[in-house]
Homo-oligomer: A and B are copies of this chain.
Amino acid sequence: MKVCRRATFNAAHRLYRKDWSDEKNLSIFGKCSNPNFHGHNYTLEVWIEGEIDQETGYLIDLKIVKDLINEEVQERFDHRNLNLDCPEFANLNPTAENIAVVIWDLLRKRLDPKYGLSIKLWETQNNIIVYDGK
Protein backbone atom coordinates (compact mmCIF):
# COMPACT_ATOMS: atom_id res chain seq x y z
CA MET A 1 0.00 0.00 0.00
CA LYS A 2 1.12 3.54 -0.70
CA VAL A 3 -0.02 6.86 0.73
CA CYS A 4 0.72 10.30 -0.65
CA ARG A 5 0.89 13.85 0.60
CA ARG A 6 0.82 16.65 -1.97
CA ALA A 7 2.41 20.09 -1.52
CA THR A 8 3.64 23.00 -3.61
CA PHE A 9 6.55 25.42 -3.67
CA ASN A 10 7.42 28.35 -5.91
CA ALA A 11 11.01 28.93 -6.96
CA ALA A 12 13.24 30.60 -9.53
CA HIS A 13 15.95 28.71 -11.39
CA ARG A 14 17.96 28.56 -14.59
CA LEU A 15 19.46 25.52 -16.28
CA TYR A 16 23.16 26.23 -16.40
CA ARG A 17 26.57 24.64 -15.99
CA LYS A 18 29.31 26.96 -14.74
CA ASP A 19 31.95 24.99 -16.65
CA TRP A 20 30.20 25.60 -19.98
CA SER A 21 30.21 28.81 -22.00
CA ASP A 22 27.04 30.86 -22.19
CA GLU A 23 26.74 29.79 -25.83
CA LYS A 24 26.88 26.10 -24.93
CA ASN A 25 24.39 26.57 -22.09
CA LEU A 26 22.05 28.33 -24.49
CA SER A 27 22.45 25.72 -27.22
CA ILE A 28 21.64 22.86 -24.82
CA PHE A 29 19.13 24.43 -22.46
CA GLY A 30 17.54 27.08 -24.70
CA LYS A 31 15.32 29.62 -23.00
CA CYS A 32 15.63 27.63 -19.75
CA SER A 33 19.18 29.03 -19.45
CA ASN A 34 18.05 32.69 -19.41
CA PRO A 35 20.81 34.39 -17.31
CA ASN A 36 18.33 36.25 -15.14
CA PHE A 37 16.34 33.11 -14.28
CA HIS A 38 12.71 32.18 -14.71
CA GLY A 39 10.50 30.25 -12.30
CA HIS A 40 7.84 27.67 -11.60
CA ASN A 41 5.09 26.61 -9.24
CA TYR A 42 6.37 23.14 -8.42
CA THR A 43 3.84 20.55 -7.29
CA LEU A 44 5.22 17.67 -5.26
CA GLU A 45 3.68 14.33 -4.35
CA VAL A 46 5.51 12.33 -1.69
CA TRP A 47 4.54 8.65 -1.79
CA ILE A 48 5.27 6.40 1.20
CA GLU A 49 5.03 2.62 0.82
CA GLY A 50 4.43 0.31 3.78
CA GLU A 51 1.83 -1.62 5.72
CA ILE A 52 -1.21 -0.47 7.63
CA ASP A 53 -0.61 -0.08 11.37
CA GLN A 54 -3.45 -2.23 12.71
CA GLU A 55 -3.74 -0.06 15.78
CA THR A 56 -4.31 3.27 14.06
CA GLY A 57 -5.43 2.23 10.59
CA TYR A 58 -2.75 4.54 9.20
CA LEU A 59 0.16 3.49 7.02
CA ILE A 60 1.75 6.63 8.40
CA ASP A 61 0.15 9.73 9.89
CA LEU A 62 0.08 12.09 6.88
CA LYS A 63 0.45 15.04 9.24
CA ILE A 64 3.98 13.78 9.89
CA VAL A 65 4.62 13.69 6.15
CA LYS A 66 3.12 17.18 5.76
CA ASP A 67 5.43 18.54 8.46
CA LEU A 68 8.42 16.72 6.97
CA ILE A 69 7.74 18.22 3.54
CA ASN A 70 7.43 21.63 5.13
CA GLU A 71 10.73 21.34 7.00
CA GLU A 72 12.83 19.68 4.34
CA VAL A 73 11.34 21.02 1.10
CA GLN A 74 9.22 24.13 1.57
CA GLU A 75 11.44 25.86 4.17
CA ARG A 76 14.39 25.19 1.91
CA PHE A 77 13.13 25.89 -1.60
CA ASP A 78 9.88 27.88 -1.44
CA HIS A 79 10.23 31.50 -2.62
CA ARG A 80 13.92 30.88 -3.27
CA ASN A 81 16.30 30.95 -6.21
CA LEU A 82 17.48 27.36 -6.50
CA ASN A 83 20.78 28.32 -8.17
CA LEU A 84 21.74 31.19 -5.88
CA ASP A 85 20.05 30.53 -2.55
CA CYS A 86 20.24 26.75 -2.19
CA PRO A 87 23.62 25.07 -1.52
CA GLU A 88 22.14 21.79 -2.81
CA PHE A 89 22.34 23.26 -6.33
CA ALA A 90 25.59 25.19 -5.98
CA ASN A 91 27.24 22.61 -8.20
CA LEU A 92 24.22 20.76 -9.52
CA ASN A 93 22.10 21.89 -12.45
CA PRO A 94 18.55 22.37 -11.08
CA THR A 95 16.71 20.37 -13.72
CA ALA A 96 13.43 18.86 -12.55
CA GLU A 97 15.23 15.51 -12.51
CA ASN A 98 17.93 16.76 -10.16
CA ILE A 99 15.41 18.57 -7.96
CA ALA A 100 13.52 15.29 -7.58
CA VAL A 101 16.72 13.46 -6.61
CA VAL A 102 17.66 16.13 -4.06
CA ILE A 103 14.19 16.06 -2.49
CA TRP A 104 14.19 12.27 -2.37
CA ASP A 105 17.59 12.27 -0.63
CA LEU A 106 16.45 14.87 1.89
CA LEU A 107 13.28 12.97 2.76
CA ARG A 108 14.93 9.53 2.73
CA LYS A 109 17.30 10.57 5.54
CA ARG A 110 14.38 11.58 7.72
CA LEU A 111 12.08 8.64 7.01
CA ASP A 112 12.07 5.33 8.91
CA PRO A 113 13.85 2.73 6.70
CA LYS A 114 10.81 0.44 6.95
CA TYR A 115 9.01 2.74 4.52
CA GLY A 116 9.51 2.88 0.78
CA LEU A 117 9.70 6.37 -0.75
CA SER A 118 9.00 7.80 -4.17
CA ILE A 119 8.59 11.35 -5.44
CA LYS A 120 6.42 12.81 -8.19
CA LEU A 121 7.27 16.38 -9.23
CA TRP A 122 5.39 18.62 -11.66
CA GLU A 123 7.52 21.48 -13.04
CA THR A 124 4.61 22.56 -15.23
CA GLN A 125 1.29 20.90 -15.99
CA ASN A 126 3.03 19.22 -18.95
CA ASN A 127 6.43 18.22 -17.47
CA ILE A 128 6.51 15.59 -14.71
CA ILE A 129 9.22 13.51 -12.98
CA VAL A 130 8.94 10.32 -10.91
CA TYR A 131 11.88 9.14 -8.81
CA ASP A 132 12.14 6.30 -6.29
CA GLY A 133 15.85 6.27 -5.50
CA LYS A 134 16.91 3.70 -8.09
Number of copies: 6
Contact residues in B for A52 (Cβ distance below 8 Å): 97-98, 101
Q: From DSSP, what is the main secondary structure of chain A's interface residues?
A: mixed
A36 at the interface (CB under 8 A from B): yes
* Contact indicator per residue, chain A 90-134, by CB within 8 Å of chain B (1) or not (0): 001111111011000000000000000000000011111111101
Tell me which of B3, B40, B128 contacts A4 (CB under 8 A).
B128
11 A–B contacts, CB within 8 A, in A order:
A1-B130, A1-B131, A1-B134, A3-B97, A4-B130, A34-B85, A36-B81, A37-B81, A47-B130, A52-B101, A57-B94
A56 at the interface (CB under 8 A from B): yes
Task: Name A29-64 residues within 8 Å CB distance of B.
Answer: 29-32, 34, 36-41, 45, 47, 52, 56-59, 62-63
A2 at the interface (CB under 8 A from B): yes
Contact residues in B for A70 (Cβ distance below 8 Å): none
A76 at the interface (CB under 8 A from B): no
Are B39 and A84 in touch, CB under 8 angstroms?
no
